[in-house]
Chain A
Amino acid sequence: MTSASAFAELHDELRTVARDLLAKGPTPDRRQIADAGWLGLEVADDLDGAGATFAEVAVVLEELGRAVAPVPFLGTAVLGVGTLNLLAPNPLCDALLRRIATGDRTLAVAGIPFRDRDGVPTRHIPVTEPVGFRVERSADGARLHGTAALVVDAPDADRFLLLADDPDGPDAGPVVVVVHGPDEVPDLTVTPQPLLDATRRVGTVTVDGVAVNEAAVWRFAGDPQAAVRTLHDRAALAVALDSLGVSEAMLAATVAYAGHRHQFGRPIGSFQAVKHACADMLVQVSVARRLVTTAVEAVAAGAPDADRAVAMAKSYATQAAVDVVGKALQLHGGIGYTWESGIHVHLKRAALNRSLFGSPRDHRRRLVPRYLAVAPT
């Protein structure tokens, strides 16, 4: 698998399988998506994974968005595996990765700081806001305190990766504390938070003095701040991909509807007002696709300017999806506003995606420092 065409073939196959799995029957469960190889895409070959990259995860993410599938993928495959792959090698971590790939573990990652002191997540300004969790060490051992709201996939997780400050630990920067689910650890509570978007599950994760074994405190292999930014980029790009899928699905549905719905004795798609609105949707989707593709390539390759590409992809694609779905609802007319049409599901998901992991405005603020350095001529 070295040539570009071999990659393209692999992606096409992954896409076809995903579309098929998501199109037929009930939503696939954890076992089915593990069997499809999705959870272990970025898990190393020797840990029963596929040894693939974010470029392959991206294919699945776009298809999940296209199907507005209520599949918990972000918490485990994007953030969970993403976090674990950034850690210094450790056998427990490897064991967890192996069980993720086989579908035996579902993860939630909490405490990723998305803003710095000035409210801007950016590579130029170090992430300084305290993360949501804190390790406190005393004579009777280490204990973990803290809370994080709106943690994606938390209600279904059986392992939690909590990014925590460890002020008395050996290194600066957040560490990752792995905690079992509330069934096993009573001091960890997960309070599900219902959302208008019923395709995603989030919850508030609270730990109140959970005893922490040193073996459960894992450290990032490199600079923890850089690791946090990488996680942030993965999270943001994941929802940009989801939004791209949502947009494409809604454009296709609208074009199909405008082609067969007749009024005034003509298909409504033959009227310029409708046709031109669809054309604008295609332009937005085309631009979003290029920005997202560029960002996926940058993230998969670990490019130094990946954060910039992600900021552009996230800010553009998630706003475009809200615009496209809104137009889709409008062009479907009264039927579009019904619960039955299902367009509301896309609208809610697109709008949630726009807010999740940094708003478009937040992401654009990451681009600004480079402008400020410009001197007038």
Chain B
Amino acid sequence: VPHWPAEWGGGMSTAEQVVLYQELAAHDAPRLVLAFVGIHHAAATLLAAGTAAQRRRHLPAILDGEIWCQGFSEPDAGSDLAALSTTARKVDGGYVVNGQKVWASGALHSNWCLLLARSDPEAPKRRGISYLLMDMGSPGIDVRPIRQATGESHFCEMFLNDVTIPEANLVGAENAGWQVAQSTLSAERGMTMLELAERLANGFRWLVEECARPRSGTDERPLDDPVVQDRLAVFETELSGLRALCRDVVERVDTGRAGPADASIVKLFYSELLQRMTDFAVDVAGLPTHTVLHKPLSTGWESGAWMLDFIGSWEWTIPGGTSEIQRTIIGERGLGLPREPR
């Protein structure tokens, strides 16, 4: 957790983190798939808005392997997340939660969940949401995996039936959960992107190797085709831009100069670059890549199982705010364009 403050076990500078992620990527180190939400989203939320007791309870536990998931989206609250209808009814000493959550990555294996629920049904939709920490061992939680386009079942849906959450697990003020989620999500994005950009840069090296492999049954290499060479040069250029952009965003977050759309710009550019690169890799790799039925365990979004990587690229253009939502955020918050009527 190099991006955490030193007192909790982190303390690396941006430059040091870049080096660390480069090395991890270069050695093809396994990604901490299940730990991802804990070390990034949960930690950022607790550090920004959590109580001292919440931090003491969870930050060391996350280091010890406590697994987290995110209970944000609902069947009728996707891009319009603030329309969520899961309720948190105030009772003596806590809340009773009812509703349905979806797309919760890793929920089947999680110990804890970052939950957004409506605590004031009368308030305007962004002002009646509370941010809660839900123990996944609580009675009344039913988790069912959802099979994805890749064939894996990492996402889950969650049915919450009279789940009790103690008041001590409220993050930030009651009904201020939307603001907590907004402020931590965007700041967090730069950090996660730093790692992903270095991983993708490493993936580019595999792509070049893929291009250097003779097409089956011939000694003809895609790499000798000037069109392929040019596409590779385009990707390398875009990757260099992405990596510089990520470093810049993280530095701006660190120095309090972050722009309101910085995170969206990075996410949009990363996800669409990933999709273009994996699409091209599938084209270059040809028929054999369609026979690769499984990705190696704990690999990233550019595992070299190119067809599965290509399918998986939509996991970046849809979750966490679709590309369309990102463009709206960039237009409205980054450029100050008029909001659409809503």
Q: Quick check: is A315 within 8 A (CB to CB) of the other chain?
A: yes
Closest 4 CB pairs of A and B: A364-B233, A275-B331, A290-B244, A279-B330
Excluding A276-B324, A287-B238, A374-B223, 19 further A-B contacts by CB distance (< 8 Å) are: A251-B335, A259-B338, A267-B338, A276-B328, A279-B334, A279-B335, A282-B261, A287-B245, A293-B244, A294-B244, A312-B241, A361-B230, A367-B236, A368-B229, A368-B230, A371-B232, A371-B233, A376-B214, A377-B209
Q: Quick check: is A286 within 8 A (CB to CB) of the other chain?
A: yes
Chain B residues whose CB sits within 8 angstroms of the CB of A316 once the complex forms: 237-238, 241
Mostly, the A contact residues are helix
Nearest-neighbor residue (CB-CB) of B268 within chain A: A283
In contact, A269 and B236 (Cβ under 8 angstroms): no
- State how many angstroms separate the Cβ of A308 from the closest Cβ of chain B: 9
Q: Quick check: is B296 within 8 A (CB to CB) of the other chain?
A: no
- State how many angstroms separate the Cβ of A370 from the closest Cβ of chain B: 9
Q: Quick check: is A278 within 8 A (CB to CB) of the other chain?
A: yes
Q: Quick check: is B21 within 8 A (CB to CB) of the other chain?
A: no
CA distance A49 to B290 in the complex (A): 63
In contact, B331 and A276 (Cβ under 8 angstroms): yes
Nearest-neighbor residue (CB-CB) of B246 within chain A: A290
Question: Which residues of A295-320 have CB atoms within 8 Å of chain B's CB atoms?
Answer: 309, 311-312, 315-316
Candidate in B212, B237, B261 with the most chain A CB atoms within 10 angstroms: B237
CA distance A283 to B264 in the complex (A): 9
Q: Quick check: is A117 within 8 A (CB to CB) of the other chain?
A: no
**Can you give 25 A-B contacts (C-beta < 8 A)?**
A255-B336, A259-B338, A266-B338, A267-B337, A269-B338, A270-B339, A270-B340, A275-B332, A282-B261, A283-B269, A287-B238, A287-B242, A290-B248, A291-B240, A293-B244, A312-B236, A312-B241, A316-B238, A364-B233, A367-B233, A371-B208, A374-B208, A375-B209, A376-B212, A376-B221
Give B200-215 as 1s and 0s: 1 = Cβ < 8 Å from A's Cβ atoms.
0000010011011110
Q: Quick check: is A31 within 8 A (CB to CB) of the other chain?
A: no
Candidate in B230, B232, B233, B242 with the most chain A CB atoms within 10 angstroms: B233
- State how many angstroms separate the Cβ of A164 from the closest Cβ of chain B: 32
CA distance A38 to B278 in the complex (A): 46
- State how many angstroms separate the Cβ of B161 from the closest Cβ of chain A: 38
Q: Quick check: is B234 within 8 A (CB to CB) of the other chain?
A: yes
Q: Quick check: is B265 within 8 A (CB to CB) of the other chain?
A: yes
CA distance A143 to B335 in the complex (A): 59
Question: Which residues of A310-341 have CB atoms within 8 Å of chain B's CB atoms?
Answer: 311-312, 315-316
CA distance A271 to B234 in the complex (A): 31
Q: Quick check: is A6 within 8 A (CB to CB) of the other chain?
A: no
Chain B residues whose CB sits within 8 angstroms of the CB of A376 once the complex forms: 209, 212-214, 221
In contact, A290 and B236 (Cβ under 8 angstroms): no
Task: Identify the B interface with A (CB < 8 A).
Answer: 205, 208-209, 211-214, 221, 223, 229-230, 232-234, 236-238, 240-242, 244-245, 248, 261, 265, 268-269, 324, 326-328, 330-332, 334-341
- State how many angstroms separate the Cβ of B74 from the closest Cβ of chain A: 23
- State how many angstroms separate the Cβ of B22 from the closest Cβ of chain A: 16
In contact, A282 and B240 (Cβ under 8 angstroms): no
In contact, A270 and B337 (Cβ under 8 angstroms): yes
In contact, B330 and A283 (Cβ under 8 angstroms): yes
- State how many angstroms separate the Cβ of A361 from the closest Cβ of chain B: 6
Chain B residues whose CB sits within 8 angstroms of the CB of A288 once the complex forms: 241
In contact, A255 and B335 (Cβ under 8 angstroms): yes
Give A244-285 as 1s and 0s: 1 = Cβ < 8 Å from B's Cβ atoms.
000000010001001100000011011110111011101100
CA distance A286 to B263 in the complex (A): 12
Chain A residues whose CB sits within 8 angstroms of the CB of B326 once the complex forms: 279
In contact, B327 and A372 (Cβ under 8 angstroms): no
- State how many angstroms separate the Cβ of A275 from the closest Cβ of chain B: 4
CA distance A211 to B22 in the complex (A): 58
CA distance A312 to B331 in the complex (A): 27
In contact, A259 and B245 (Cβ under 8 angstroms): no
Chain B residues whose CB sits within 8 angstroms of the CB of A270 once the complex forms: 337-341
In contact, B340 and A290 (Cβ under 8 angstroms): no
CA distance A309 to B339 in the complex (A): 38
Chain B residues whose CB sits within 8 angstroms of the CB of A293 once the complex forms: 244
CA distance A276 to B335 in the complex (A): 11
Chain B residues whose CB sits within 8 angstroms of the CB of A311 once the complex forms: 237
- State how many angstroms separate the Cβ of A313 from the closest Cβ of chain B: 9
- State how many angstroms separate the Cβ of A261 from the closest Cβ of chain B: 11
Nearest-neighbor residue (CB-CB) of A363 within chain B: B233
CA distance A272 to B325 in the complex (A): 10
Chain A residues whose CB sits within 8 angstroms of the CB of B261 once the complex forms: 282
- State how many angstroms separate the Cβ of B221 from the closest Cβ of chain A: 8
